[in-house]
Structure 1
Amino acid sequence: MAQEKQAIAIIGAGLGGAAAGALLQSAGFDVKIYEQAPSFTRLGAGIHMGPNVLKIFQRIGMDQKLIDISSTPSHWFSRNGLTGEYLSRIPLEGYGATYCTVHRGDLSALQMDTMAPGTVQFNKRLTRLEDNGSDVYLEFQDGTSARAAIVIGADGINSRVRETLLGAEKPNYSGWVGHRAMITAEKLTKFDLTFEDCVKWWGPDRHMMVYYTTGRRDEYYYVTGVPHAAWEFDGAFVQSSREEMFEAFAGYHPVVQALIEATDDVTKWPLFNRNPLPLWSQGRMVLLGDACHPMKPHMAQGAAMAIEDAAMLTRCLEETGANAYAEAFALYEANRRERATRVQTVSNANTFLLTQEDPSWVYGYDVYAQPLRDKSVA
């Protein structure tokens, strides 16, 4: 078996894992990221990156590059899905950095460019890891293995690292699904309607969030939240259809109907979450993002929390040094648990920005401006 020893191994090259890799490298740590996908592709759909995240991206020099390719809405509009009445108009400017909506794949590509070549190892599906006290042994499906002083589990809601720490446990199905579709702006020109840069259409028990994913405004994306009694399908998602969408949003505003009419391809995803975990780390292993505190996507802050985690974890490791990893992990949890839990709770409740409110507690937050709380406060 091929063996290599690295100071820090990150499992998963998603947005949180890639942020951790870039930030830790920038801080001088030796890092390898192990990603189960066979190669990088422009996967995913739209995503929000608020000012709280752009302040972190400034540290690795990718904030302006992201702004250049993104849509930068001035407001988040909330509208009654049936009547079109405005429920709130929330400014997205004035929080110390830009608010971006972008294609997740384009964001991932920028993140990959912030790291040294060879940092991300693809086709590395983790099958086993063992903390033997002096280091952590990692074994992959392709027959290779590695050793690391620290392992960061950034491998999502079905995290193998979380399973190693806490045992196998399926995530909770929330009773909701999300439909996702990307629409070309060209298809919208046939409708004599206004399509706002960033708007959430709210119904009594469902919603549709819509925004542009490029600075060229040539991709318009929607994601829904719709009650669905049970997830009875295999796989991460299934195909949906315009007919299913029309049924789910029957009687909704003409703009919603036009978006559905313009849809060529739509998929349906189950929304899962977990109860707050009893621990975030153990020994030489630590969790971040969805591996640690998954949430419904209704605040558009799930990836942001993973990136904030990455920044705080890096900050704590810089504070203590990698050899004092246990102290760093305790400091990290003490400085992240309260905020991540609050965002998780509000996101799951699906009330954020429904009515006029001040979101500065979310967007005005700067992970680097927070005085580090003593680890005994965790």
Structure 2
Amino acid sequence: MSTGNEKIAIIGAGLGGAAAGALLQHAGFNVQIFEQAPSFSRLGAGIHMGPNVLKIFQRIGMDQKLIDISSTPAYWFSRDGLTGDYLSRIPLEGYGATYCTVHRGDLSALQMDTMTPGTVQFNKRLTRLEDNGSDVYLEFQDGTSARATIVIGADGINSRVRETLLGAEKPHYSGWVGHRAMISAQKLKKFDLTFEDCVKWWGPDRHMMVYYTTSRRDEYYYVTGVPHPAWEFDGAFVQSSREEMSEAFAGYHPVIQALIEATDDVTKWPLFNRNPLPLWSQGRMVLLGDACHPMKPHMAQGAAMAIEDAAMLARCLEETGSQDYATAFRLYEASRRDRATQVQTVSNANTFLQTQEDPSWVYGYDVYAEPILDKSVA
């Protein structure tokens, strides 16, 4: 329910923030998204969008557009990274919607198209925000400012909104890095090997997840999880190399060696975590996604949890109206905390789908079929 007078500010135009923007606009709310990047570009890497997310995209008419540009694997295969033996063969169909793997930049472009032009303002790095009781004042690095009825912090693990609520605290380095590389399918043709649509190669203490990112199957992407004793670099990532990859996966299966040989450019990213937060909201400010429950990417559900958060938050605000934001935020956290915590725990453990199991608790989940919980009256 929207009064038409509220102004909802979303900090961050990543997958969770853009989903919140589109869903809230669809519900009739006045939304503005502030993104620190100077412009939109096809940056990033591959990403999984499971049936639990496609059910949300159906609500804003985006699901078929995503399917049309994505790879839609029928199975998730897990294989022993050394021997190649199959550990599991998990169906990805039968959960009420399609399973997609796609380039993050292509997904972001679709999300931008679901919102009213001008919704996203770029080059807006948040430097200060203050909840003065009647609204929230936002100040940006470029000298501009804005006011909003409520603020949604979708600004990632280093969230400025989280810092405002809970104080400055660096995230914890997990002891793992992820290597990322995009390989053209053309480069793989020289190898007389089978490259499956979606497969995770498991070693004793490391892994490599590999999948196509387009419906044309012309991009094959891998992301690793490799122990690394310390993160000694500034910035979000550093360049890696074929040589470093070859050393990290020495003795592994010929398919892994072929992927490394076909790699032109590979980057290395530190994986960070935070302890569970004591609160998800305060006053007129609320958090979603990595801003409140970051997780290792080993389950391919981090972005999905942000998008599920966005859907439940939009549901709660539509139920109460933005003027009763306190109730909406309480219902949102009560309805999402257990689910997000469960996924965070399993993802950090890095066991999901390694052996044959039923993933319906993840993929069969429908945020719109879930009750809105109010634990304050339980």
After TM superposition, the score normalised by the length of structure 2 is 0.98
- Report the count of equivalent residues: 374
Is it true that 1:107 corresponds to 2:130 in the alignment? no
Q: Is the 8 A contact 1:7 1:149 kept in 2?
A: yes
Is it true that 1:200 corresponds to 2:172 in the alignment? no
Is it true that 1:37 corresponds to 2:31 in the alignment? no
Is it true that 1:184 corresponds to 2:184 in the alignment? yes
Equivalent-residue separation in structure 2 for 1:189 and 1:255 (angstroms): 12
Residue in structure 1 matched with residue 144 of structure 2 by the alignment: 144
| Residue type of the alignment partner of 1:246 | S
Equivalent-residue separation in structure 2 for 1:52 and 1:175 (angstroms): 30
SS at match of 2:235: coil
| Residue type of the alignment partner of 1:335 | S
Equivalent-residue separation in structure 1 for 2:370 and 2:236 (angstroms): 37
| Residue type of the alignment partner of 2:57 | F
Q: Is the 8 A contact 1:46 1:221 kept in 2?
A: yes
Residue in structure 2 matched with residue 322 of structure 1 by the alignment: 322
| Residue type of the alignment partner of 2:67 | I
Moved more, 269-278 or 5-14: 5-14
Q: Is the 8 A contact 1:54 1:98 kept in 2?
A: yes
Equivalent-residue separation in structure 2 for 1:215 and 1:264 (angstroms): 22
| Structure 2, gaps ≥5 residues long | none
SS at match of 2:152: strand
Equivalent-residue separation in structure 2 for 1:174 and 1:68 (angstroms): 36
Residue in structure 2 matched with residue 90 of structure 1 by the alignment: 90
Residue in structure 2 matched with residue 71 of structure 1 by the alignment: 71
Q: Is the 8 A contact 1:334 1:377 kept in 2?
A: no
Residue in structure 2 matched with residue 128 of structure 1 by the alignment: 128
Equivalent-residue separation in structure 2 for 1:27 and 1:6 (angstroms): 13
Residue in structure 2 matched with residue 212 of structure 1 by the alignment: 212
Equivalent-residue separation in structure 2 for 1:109 and 1:97 (angstroms): 21
Q: Is the 8 A contact 2:6 2:322 kept in 1?
A: no
Q: Is the 8 A contact 1:333 1:375 kept in 2?
A: no
Residue in structure 2 matched with residue 235 of structure 1 by the alignment: 235
Is it true that 1:48 corresponds to 2:48 in the alignment? yes
Q: 1:377, CA displacement in angstroms? A: 6.9
Q: 1:372, CA displacement in angstroms? A: 1.4
Residue in structure 1 matched with residue 244 of structure 2 by the alignment: 244
Q: 1:107, CA displacement in angstroms? A: 0.1
Q: Residues 120-140 of structure 1, C-alpha deviation per residue, up to 9 Å, x if partnerless?
A: 000000000000000000000
Q: 1:375, CA displacement in angstroms? A: 3.7
Equivalent-residue separation in structure 2 for 1:163 and 1:280 (angstroms): 12
SS at match of 2:7: strand
Residue in structure 2 matched with residue 269 of structure 1 by the alignment: 269
- Aligned Cα root-mean-square deviation (Å): 0.9
Equivalent-residue separation in structure 1 for 2:241 and 2:219 (angstroms): 19
Equivalent-residue separation in structure 1 for 2:95 and 2:337 (angstroms): 23
| Residue type of the alignment partner of 1:113 | D
Q: 1:374, CA displacement in angstroms? A: 1.5
Equivalent-residue separation in structure 2 for 1:329 and 1:237 (angstroms): 34
Residue in structure 2 matched with residue 343 of structure 1 by the alignment: 343
Equivalent-residue separation in structure 2 for 1:275 and 1:83 (angstroms): 36
| Residue type of the alignment partner of 1:345 | T
Q: Is the 8 A contact 1:182 1:221 kept in 2?
A: yes
After TM superposition, the score normalised by the length of structure 1 is 0.98
Equivalent-residue separation in structure 1 for 2:67 and 2:305 (angstroms): 19
| Residue type of the alignment partner of 1:157 | I
Q: 1:6, CA displacement in angstroms? A: 5.9
Residue in structure 2 matched with residue 365 of structure 1 by the alignment: 365
Equivalent-residue separation in structure 1 for 2:373 and 2:131 (angstroms): 28
| Residue type of the alignment partner of 2:282 | Q
When residues 202 and 299 of structure 1 are mapped into structure 2, their CA distance, relative to the original with a 3 A threshold, is: same
Q: 1:142, CA displacement in angstroms? A: 0.5
Q: Which ranges of 4 or more aligned residues in structure 1 deviate by more than 6 Å?
A: none
Equivalent-residue separation in structure 1 for 2:265 and 2:223 (angstroms): 12
When residues 377 and 338 of structure 1 are mapped into structure 2, their CA distance, relative to the original with a 3 A threshold, is: farther
Residue in structure 1 matched with residue 332 of structure 2 by the alignment: 332
Is it true that 1:11 corresponds to 2:11 in the alignment? yes
Q: 1:217, CA displacement in angstroms? A: 0.1
| Residue type of the alignment partner of 1:90 | I
Is it true that 1:154 corresponds to 2:145 in the alignment? no
Q: Is the 8 A contact 2:206 2:224 kept in 1?
A: yes
Q: Is the 8 A contact 1:45 1:221 kept in 2?
A: yes
| Residue type of the alignment partner of 1:183 | I
SS at match of 1:9: strand
Identity %: 91
| Residue type of the alignment partner of 1:75 | Y
Equivalent-residue separation in structure 2 for 1:10 and 1:105 (angstroms): 19
Residue in structure 2 matched with residue 81 of structure 1 by the alignment: 81
Equivalent-residue separation in structure 2 for 1:119 and 1:241 (angstroms): 39
Q: Residues 4-58 of structure 1, C-alpha deviation per residue, up to 9 Å, x if partnerless?
A: x961000000000000000000000000000000000001000000000000000
Q: Is the 8 A contact 1:6 1:32 kept in 2?
A: no
Equivalent-residue separation in structure 2 for 1:108 and 1:371 (angstroms): 29
